[in-house]
Structure 1
Amino acid sequence: KGILHRLNGFAQFLQNHPEYHEKVTLAMIVVPSRDTVDIYADLKTRIDQTIGEINGKYSRLGW
Structure 2
Amino acid sequence: MRLISPAGTRVEVGDEFGRELLARGYVSAEPAPEPDPVPKPARGRRKAAPNGNSNTG
Q: TM-score range by the shorter chain?
A: under 0.3
Bigger fraction of residues in helix: 1
Bigger fraction of residues in strand: 2
Question: Quick one: higher RCO (CA 8 Å, sep 6+), 1 or 2?
Answer: 1
Structure-2-length-normalised TM-score: 0.23
